[in-house]
Structure 1
């Protein structure tokens, strides 16, 4: 792209979901900074430190107050009740979590509006996390070009006939290829099952937006009207046809990562078969679940399937670790996860299957025993299983022996399938990780298109990557009128043929 005399200003916006949601955006921004872009970062109060590792950020904008730690802990604790949206399951925790993560919309919308109204501060492009709906509002109100980052293919969008149910919320199966009739039917019936919660959620969102004077609804079609960058690749995610403005560019990985330090360094050098355990920063394991994992790991050590465990664990469960812990188990507040996974002594990863952990596991070729808790973790666990590199355990329905058996299966790997599939995905992931540069290319491409089709604040053409069907009535996009003409013509032909036959005979 031919740069103008002044730097293009890119605004990166991340508000909810924690630092792992912000890092992929900042990695793309880092590439664009090397191409001459000025990078600014916007987030909630108290989250400014997410930008500390990125010195190229020229300015940080505070979009509103951060969530109080006690409120955040309580909300994530409630998310532990999350269940897959099966028939007869209570889906309220799913929508409670969604409403909690979107509750900052009023302050974010107001702050971004002020920023957009300032001609000297207005960004030329906004790159945002998928949870920041206010950015889509800025796109609609101020015609600023945007790109939304998703950790998986957008939930509830991009349907395909061979993907049963609600995309991103599938139950048990990711595609219809090997699904039973009942599995396919159950996924379709879930659409009806969750309808009461969906109506309640949309009513809540509508009232929240109305209080801010916004009566316009957010787009809800099957395809996005803006650029979507997805932090995945088609050896883990289910391949499907995509519109031109949706691009899988993952796994988005940092070029460098922290090295092993003490006490992890000494421990991992002394133990030849390490099981690494980590459940992210927000997950608050219930005591029963924590104990099942602990007991399962002790069985693994006693059976000499592994000779060491490194568990990155916060202070919540320290009360359980005071007595009776095996000397071959190391508990740390923080572990340099990628360095642990990259070490040849690490044989398996027990994880919640968050997107960052999923990407890091496949990038470093480590099999995963997943205990998914909420959000896309349930589908990530299925993805790892379908890719042949993981065994999922249901958090509501596993015991210590189940965990020990799963770890034993991936470590001993009697058939060699886990090893071969880990090597296969590792190779693909390392090639696919280069696509973060393609993500930066697409942002430049969309910006060039935007600047070229807006003349004197008038939009002369639609977005070049948007497929035409998004701008057409459904009957025309699906050729229903042509089918109707064909049916009528066929009927007239049949009728005329019969009349002629009767006439002559």
Structure 2
């Protein structure tokens, strides 16, 4: 009885101790699909007693202004990244990519996306300046006694305010500005780590490694130009002339990585990288009654789910019609998230919806296939529930994400230029539906992903609270990010050792020459 009493008392103590500790967290999120997973993290933090304040701009189109689990600060701005801007940009890229030659497409996309990214980050800088130029806002931040800044480093505002307020910084991260986060801080041998955009795996031929190196150098130049034309000037203006934005952005205490090594290729990592891939995935909840009735009506054939993500409301009309016609030929029922005009040849087996509980549908026993654009969130949900994928990547990292599943036998990929030609879409769907290996491989990946000592979300919450308890995690941060490139790659050491080698060789040569002259010249005179 004494042991039981002691155990219960200890459990109650730890429960109330950890529940009573509520940190104050300042959040600078990124809009769109990035907000979807950030919101999951904020809900979990709120459930553990933390007080959360989210900063958004007045043009935000995804972040709600009212919430029961976070406080909101809305900063007035004249321009922002709204849904119209995103729709016009993605539509233009899709139309060009469908008709261009591969090399032309690559060059056009590289230049176009660079200019779009510069413009996007200049809009973000206006947002940062609007906050920094508001004395009441800054006064509120300073006297609120926040414990932590949480941000998505796809933009640089969060890192700047963490430095301004001298607070620990945590990233909810896959991308840092213009490149994948691993390449910003972790050792990244391009001999076996593919650069986003190449579509390669970790097993590359010689020519693929050449191309991979070229993409790496291009990405470094892109990143350097992005910083110098945007955030570096802002840092010097607001934080002081000696602040280097690249060092500032890499000094985060904790990087919550939205991948795991069931999805990612094996590679070197860092001690302050915490992997939480699939943290937004949960066991399926019951569907709304109208969706459940539709799913059950599929009988033994099951259901196909299609969604092209947050940024794409509708595909081009001719492509939409081709996909609708292909679906109409299948015995499966189809649930399609589609906001454009209703396809003329839509079959009776297809249900168009504006919104759907994607995770719950993917976890339904009758789900057979997921047709997706290749965003990280959707693919991780498919992996969690073991559902094979037919991918139609549009831009950014989507092709590379899908390649990771294809290489593991769980997906097929169609490009924008071929999806509506020669029944390619129907052929790909039927192959994945009828070949059991796709489903078996995804279910194997699902078992690997779920077999962890701690759930990814709980792992992320522990480390965030760890940073708050200890006022940072400096002992986990490498100092390599402070080193210039020539020191990081030991170019200066190599040149020094090469110089020493030359000095030694030269010295030996001179000594031998002097010795030769000393020994041999008298003999010549005697003769």
TM-score range, shorter chain: 0.7 to 0.9
Q: Paired residue for 1:38, among 36, 51, 55?
A: 51
Q: What is the distance in 1 between the residues matched to 2:35 and 2:495?
A: 49
Q: Paired residue for 1:94, among 107, 113, 120?
A: 113
Task: Decide whether the 8 Å contact of 1:9 with 1:37 is kept in 2.
Answer: yes
What's the offset of the Cα at 1:465?
1.3
Q: What CA RMSD, in Å, does the superposition of the two structures yield over aligned residues?
A: 3.9
Indicate the larger mover: 150-159 or 288-297: 150-159
- Residues 463-483 of structure 1: CA distance to partner in whole angstroms, max 9, x if unpaired? 221113233455555555655
Q: Paired residue for 2:305, among 264, 272, 276?
A: 276
CA gap of 1:9–1:440, structure 2 versus 1, over 3 A, is same
Question: Partner of 1:317: helix, strand, or coil?
Answer: coil
Task: Decide whether the 8 Å contact of 1:10 with 1:124 is kept in 2.
Answer: yes
Task: Determine the structure 2 residue equivalent to 1:457.
Answer: none
Q: What is the distance in 2 between the residues matched to 1:376 and 1:32?
A: 29
Q: Paired residue for 1:372, among 381, 393, 405?
A: 393
Normalised TM-score (structure 2): 0.78
Q: Paired residue for 2:449, among 429, 451, 474?
A: 429
In the alignment, does 2:309 pair up with 1:309?
no
Task: Decide whether the 8 Å contact of 1:63 with 1:108 is kept in 2.
Answer: no
CA gap of 1:159–1:264, structure 2 versus 1, over 3 A, is same
Q: How many residues align?
A: 478
In the alignment, does 2:458 pair up with 1:443?
no
Structure 1 segment 268-347 matched on structure 2, within 5 A: 268-271=295-298, 272-283=301-312, 284-299=314-329, 301=330, 306-314=331-339, 316-318=340-342, 320=343, 323-347=344-368
Q: Paired residue for 2:88, among 74, 97, 101?
A: 74
Task: Determine the structure 2 residue equivalent to 1:160.
Answer: 188
CA gap of 1:146–1:193, structure 2 versus 1, over 3 A, is closer
Question: Partner of 2:341: helix, strand, or coil?
Answer: helix
CA gap of 1:249–1:198, structure 2 versus 1, over 3 A, is closer
What's the offset of the Cα at 1:234?
0.6
Q: What is the distance in 2 between the residues matched to 1:212 and 1:472?
A: 23
Indicate the larger mover: 229-238 or 481-490: 481-490
Unpaired segments ≥5 residues, structure 1: 452-461
Task: Determine the structure 2 residue equivalent to 1:220.
Answer: 246
Structure 1 segment 477-488 matched on structure 2, within 5 A: 477-479=488-490, 483=494, 487=498
What's the offset of the Cα at 1:242?
1.1
Task: Determine the structure 1 residue equivalent to 2:407.
Answer: 386
Question: Partner of 1:325: helix, strand, or coil?
Answer: coil
What's the offset of the Cα at 1:241?
0.8
Structure 1 segment 179-218 matched on structure 2, within 5 A: 179-190=204-215, 201-202=226-227, 204-205=229-230, 209=234
Indicate the larger mover: 22-31 or 123-132: 22-31
Task: Determine the structure 2 residue equivalent to 1:61.
Answer: 73
Task: Determine the structure 2 residue equivalent to 1:358.
Answer: 379
Task: Decide whether the 8 Å contact of 1:349 with 1:368 is kept in 2.
Answer: yes
Task: Determine the structure 2 residue equivalent to 1:13.
Answer: 28
In the alignment, does 2:262 pair up with 1:235?
yes
Question: Partner of 1:30: helix, strand, or coil?
Answer: helix
CA gap of 1:123–1:91, structure 2 versus 1, over 3 A, is same
Q: What is the distance in 1 between the residues matched to 2:442 and 2:226?
A: 40
Q: What is the distance in 1 between the residues matched to 2:162 and 2:467?
A: 13
CA gap of 1:496–1:244, structure 2 versus 1, over 3 A, is same
Task: Determine the structure 2 residue equivalent to 1:29.
Answer: 42
Q: What is the distance in 1 between the residues matched to 2:322 and 2:233?
A: 41
Indicate the larger mover: 40-49 or 102-111: 40-49
- Residues 304-326 of structure 1: CA distance to partner in whole angstroms, max 9, x if unpaired? xx422221211x232x2xx4321
Q: What is the distance in 2 between the residues matched to 1:52 and 1:202?
A: 30
CA gap of 1:366–1:478, structure 2 versus 1, over 3 A, is same
Task: Determine the structure 2 residue equivalent to 1:458.
Answer: none
What's the offset of the Cα at 1:257?
6.0
Q: Paired residue for 2:198, among 160, 165, 171?
A: 171
Task: Decide whether the 8 Å contact of 1:159 with 1:166 is kept in 2.
Answer: no
What's the offset of the Cα at 1:494?
6.5
Unpaired segments ≥5 residues, structure 2: 1-13, 521-527
CA gap of 1:293–1:196, structure 2 versus 1, over 3 A, is farther
Question: Partner of 1:330: helix, strand, or coil?
Answer: strand
- Residues 106-151 of structure 1: CA distance to partner in whole angstroms, max 9, x if unpaired? 2245326754543322522111122331111112333221112124
CA gap of 1:475–1:424, structure 2 versus 1, over 3 A, is same
Normalised TM-score (structure 1): 0.81
What's the offset of the Cα at 1:34?
4.2
Task: Decide whether the 8 Å contact of 1:350 with 1:368 is kept in 2.
Answer: yes
Q: What is the distance in 1 between the residues matched to 2:164 and 2:319?
A: 47
Q: What is the distance in 2 between the residues matched to 1:211 and 1:287?
A: 48
Q: What is the distance in 1 between the residues matched to 2:375 and 2:304?
A: 18
- Residues 18-41 of structure 1: CA distance to partner in whole angstroms, max 9, x if unpaired? 1x3123333333343344421222
